[in-house]
Chains A and B, each alone.
Chain A
């Protein structure tokens, strides 16, 4: 599991050339490179040997039935879940474990982990806004207190980001006064304020009333078109089909099928994917 001896197995991901795991970031390093991610709770394996490379600018949608491990996998990418084994590189840099003195991996300390996480932002299913801060306060919190950006600068950028998601007038509102869709758009602004290399979406519309799903998806569509690197765990099939560059289909903790949206939705080649899609077609 040494970080400098990662093997890129053929067919395991996007643009494999076996030299992507260089310790320093290069312009064409994958935004994320996950290798052989396994996760077990007690004796239950929820992720088995998942590989994923995502190129800068790419949008990947992870689909799969409930319990397939897609959310757990997403949470492994920013180390909110610690994989039982496997490695994750964000923009060429490891997260979660570092090579130790003896060459064996050692867990990152709190400071190292926090630093690694500044490269990846996450949008949560239940928003996870901080209720004691205004919309703008939520957006500037991490840029100011983690990245150390000057407050005035962060506030100006925060206002721009809120404007971008259509919430310029709600900058000083507290989360409890916002609708679900508005909360999620604030959460997206908060994510963007970190200028992340990679943006993770954990079922961002699953907790929303149906009429609010559209406004959130519209913002995400804009981001994808604007070249933001994104991994989206979702049940919104129409969105995935329209916006994703690539679909990764998980079932039983494994990658069962991966391909372009067109290939996946029109001619899925595994029986599992066919059954999954049949349920949504109805």
Chain B
């Protein structure tokens, strides 16, 4: 493996990281929004979101990527590989985030909500001031777990021509006939990225436990 190959892998790692960050950053608010819409139990919308979320959760990321890249243009939405990859990962993680937030909302202590209502907090204020600060803390573990899954799901978008870590490693291995070094390097890169996420989670959880005294899952 030459120095150029290392640079190629690092460039691919930045693609992996960029795609993951974009997907996670877009997926979180969308997932939260969907969970809130579902918790409002609006007649038709509720079933529609439930069906959509189930569909996206069931679809492998590869399938979803092919759908976004090849089928959406039929509906007039033509996307370059990178934006299509971001859309794919966003859709996928939003669906899972929705379920995580929904579980958090369902488990939220009723007495706290009641106290907030009794003191005149309107629904939006109540959500912003009482629910959200606790919801994200309680959901932190499952959310980080989902983030690592997104990161590890990025090789799936190679199918629409995005060169991320695994794809780059495969190419290098094919050119040099020595697959071990590039795939070893790829594994190290994934491990490093995920370690950063998990470290961040541990740090945040320790702070939360120290300050507020409630355990987070």
Contact = CB atoms under 8 A, between A and B. Distances in A.
Nearest to B132: A132
Interface string A119-137: 0111010101111100000
A128 B214 contact: no
Given A130-B112, A176-B213, A110 B123 contact: yes
Contact of B137 (A115, A132, A174, A176): A132
A119 to B, nearest CB: 9
B129 A145 contact: yes
B120 A115 contact: yes
Q: Which of A114, A115, A118, A174 has the most CB of B within 10 A?
A: A114
B47 interface: no
A142 B114 contact: no
B111 A141 contact: no
B134 A117 contact: no
Contacts of B117: 80, 114, 117
B213 A177 contact: yes
B136 to A, nearest CB: 10
B118 A78 contact: yes
A130 B130 contact: yes
Interface of chain B, main secondary structure: helix
A146 B119 contact: yes
A142 B121 contact: yes
A52 interface: no
Contact of A174 (B114, B115, B212): B212
Contacts of B211: 174
Given A117-B117, A174-B213, A131 B134 contact: yes
A131 B213 contact: yes
B120 A128 contact: no
Given A80-B114, A130-B112, A176-B213, A141 B120 contact: no
A147 B120 CA distance: 9
A176 B215 CA distance: 11
Q: Which of B115, B122, B130, B134 has the most CB of A within 10 A?
A: B115
Contacts of B129: 141, 145
A110 B115 CA distance: 15
Contacts of A176: 212-214
Nearest to B213: A176
A111 interface: yes
Given A117-B119, A131-B214, A132-B212, A146 B125 contact: yes
Contacts of B115: 122, 124, 128-130
A117 B112 CA distance: 16
A146 B116 CA distance: 10
Contact of A121 (B119, B121, B123, B125): B119
Contact of B111 (A121, A126, A175, A177): A126
Nearest to B210: A174
Interface in B120-155: 120-123, 125, 129-130, 133-134, 137
Given A142-B119, A145-B125, A176-B214, 4 more contacts: A128-B114, A141-B129, A146-B121, A177-B213
Interface of A: 78, 80, 110-111, 114-115, 117-118, 120-122, 124, 126, 128-132, 141-142, 145-147, 174-177, 190, 194
27 contacts: A80-B118, A114-B121, A114-B122, A117-B117, A117-B119, A117-B120, A124-B114, A128-B111, A128-B112, A128-B114, A130-B115, A130-B130, A131-B212, A132-B137, A141-B119, A142-B119, A142-B120, A145-B125, A145-B129, A146-B120, A146-B121, A146-B125, A147-B120, A176-B212, A176-B213, A176-B214, A194-B120
